[in-house]
Structure 1
């Protein structure tokens, strides 16, 4: 029953027949839609494998433990490559994202009709393609190695950083811009003294947050040949060396937890 609020109290009113049928019709359509989606998702499912999944998972878990702790000596160099991919890729993305963000923001773009749509298209294109797909394409273009991973992370980071940064630019206090402009300052001076100081904390927070995300994404780029610890993961999976896989998972988990802690500390110090 819908509730009608008055100045003193809520009044309960019974739904009309039409409202009641509309409510039940909505629920019926929702159930039909759910059944349709379930059939689409499971039409190729082999339910025997699903029923056998707990047994297979237990068998695989037994093979993965205990971890091969001696294998950690092999992982230091690939882990260092992974950190370099994430860090250099983040810096590359930031370097490109800064001008794109200023071109996309309504209050700093030189043209709302022409330049801004191009900048927004760059942002959307970067955010639409996953870093793993970027890496797959770049490995085919420039060959395997950490360079492909760095460029893939950079291309993926452009959209994320530029989107959040241009939104921060559009939300600045315009009175500061007007005050600096009133002194006869040039457009570059207005940006330098009125806009940049306001968005600088947000910029640092966005950059550190993106670096934290890139640490996680760069750990799997080696699966397509883009270097890093993912290469060792792929090699171990190929030979079914499950104790080594467990060790790699532990190292990746430790790295992600550490990067998350560093990111949180830096963002707290800045913001």
Structure 2
């Protein structure tokens, strides 16, 4: 069993009988849990469909190729809606996440007993629910369409952005804050001139990174009626128009690749 010495080198020691017994008991418990879980999964699985999956996949591939290239003229508006959902959702999320992050950060929160727990609750609650579930809830409240998708993406992104931003706030150089405070600056002036300039690179990086993620998430929101290219995908799947499905998947792949390239370039310029 390797153990790190004081100088950082690994030193091997023989396990005692008790340590070996605990080690093997842990492995046996893990194996038992795996066997139990596999048994439950097997009972709930129709294995005939699993063994027949290669044939079904081959049949769908034959039906989906070649893609129906002339259908691409009808995908311009849906992919534009998808980009708008991701972009507007990200912008709204950033506007909401910045004040939440300042309330959650230990060095900027006005109250560690009231404001900070409330801000952390907002961060956890918005991050714990998937955007598809938010979209389903919002469609029931405000109806289907692009607006429901924008709000779903925004709510889902608030917690993600706020968490990374408040961590950046807590890691700032406090000497700059102390220097500005010593000049008699107010609390707001300290934030504007001492904290915000230090977190701007992190804020820009978070914005681009989250926008890249939201491009991926917004492509499937249409499956539940929240607009975008996912709506075209759902319509094509409903009528088993496999050539259209393959074309839509190619367009989604192209959009994701382009967004990844753009976000990588922007992050590289920021860093």
The TM-score by the shorter chain falls in which range?
over 0.9
Partner of 2:169: 169
Distance 1:269-1:15 versus aligned 2 partners, 3 A rule: closer
How many angstroms apart in 2 are the aligned matches of 1:240 and 1:263? 35
Q: List gaps (5 residues or longer) in structure 2.
A: none
Counterparts of 1:179-194 in structure 2, within 5 Å, are 179-194=179-194
CA deviation profile, 1:199-223 (whole Å, cap 9, x unmatched): 0000001001111111110011111
Name the CA distance, whole Å, in 2 between partners of 1:225 and 1:86. Answer: 15
Q: Normalised by the size of structure 2, how large is the TM-score? A: 0.95
**Alignment partner of 1:50 is 2:44:** no
Counterpart in 2 of 1:30?
A: 30
- 1:59-208 alignment, distance < 5 Å: 59-208=59-208
Q: What residue in structure 1 maps to residue 209 of structure 2?
A: 209
Aligned residues: 270
Q: 2:244 & 2:62 partners in 1: Cα distance?
A: 13
TM-score under structure 1 normalisation? Answer: 0.95
Aligned counterparts of 1:254 and 1:160: Cα–Cα separation in 2:
25
Q: Tell me, what secondary structure is at the counterpart of 1:172?
A: coil
Give the superposition deviation at 1:19. 2.8
5 Å-filtered alignment, 1:213-224, equals: 213-224=213-224
Distance of 1:269 and 1:63 partners within structure 2: 44
CA separation of 1:6/1:235 partners in 2, compared to 1, >3 Å: closer, same or farther? closer
Question: Could you tell me how far apart the structure 1 residues matched to 2:172 and 2:56 are?
Answer: 56
CA root-mean-square deviation? 1.7
The answer on whether the counterparts of 1:136 and 1:224 sit within 8 Å (CA) in structure 2 is: yes
Following the alignment from structure 2 to structure 1, what is the Cα–Cα distance between the partners of residues 167 and 182? 25
Cα distance in 1, alignment partners of residues 28 and 228 from structure 2: 51
Q: For residues 14 and 145 of structure 2, what CA distance do their matches in structure 1 show?
A: 68
| Structure 1: 5+ residue stretches without partners | none
CA contact (8 A) 2:127 2:160 kept: yes
Deviation string 1:210-239 (CA, Å, 9 cap, x unpaired) is 111111100111111111101100000000
